[in-house]
């Protein structure tokens, strides 16, 4: 019975030691509060991330415990980041500000034969 208890402990212990958490929340426009569907949300320094759904919500599962920088980005808005300490399920709401994209000047020349 003792040997069975030890084997069971070694099988179950990693489940608790490597418990996986979820980072979730919403991405919205800072001035209007409207949802930003399709916004990319990533945990910097990892390959984990998610895209915001049509109501602006996102969820990143299986996040190991630790400190992360959560960054949201979408075209036409400035990136926004927050640092969070993940030790359980965490909610991170991000509000992005409108940012104009400036391109370099383009000169079009034509000549006629």
- Sequence-ordered strand ranges (E) for the chain: 21-29, 40-43, 49-51, 57-63, 66-73, 80-86, 90-91, 94-96
Model confidence at 21, in pLDDT bands (50, 70, 90)? very high
pLDDT digits (tens, 9 = 90+) for 96-106: 999 977 778 88
The residues near 51 (Cβ < 8 Å, ≥ 6 apart) are: 38, 39, 40, 41, 58
Asked whether the predicted pLDDT for residue 13 surpasses 60, the reply is no
Of residues 11 and 110, more confidently modeled: 110
Its pTM surpasses 0.85: no
Tokens of 25: 């929340």
Say how far apart CA 68 and CA 85 lie, in whole Å: 6
Binned at pLDDT 50, 70 and 90, residue 11 comes out as low
């Amino acid at each position: 019975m003792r040997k069975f208890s030890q084997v069971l402990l070694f099988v179950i212990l990693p489940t608790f030691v490597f418990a996986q958490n979820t980072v979730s929340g919403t991405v919205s426009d800072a001035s209007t509060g409207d949802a930003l569907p399709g916004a990319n949300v990533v945990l910097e320094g990892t390959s984990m991330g998610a895209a915001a759904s049509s109501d602006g919500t996102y969820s990143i599962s299986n996040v190991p415990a630790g400190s992360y920088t959560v960054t949201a980005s979408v075209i036409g808005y400035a990136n926004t980041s927050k640092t969070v300490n993940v030790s359980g399920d965490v909610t991170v709401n991000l509000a992005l500000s409108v940012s104009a994209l400036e391109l370099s000047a383009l000169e079009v020349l034509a000549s006629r034969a």
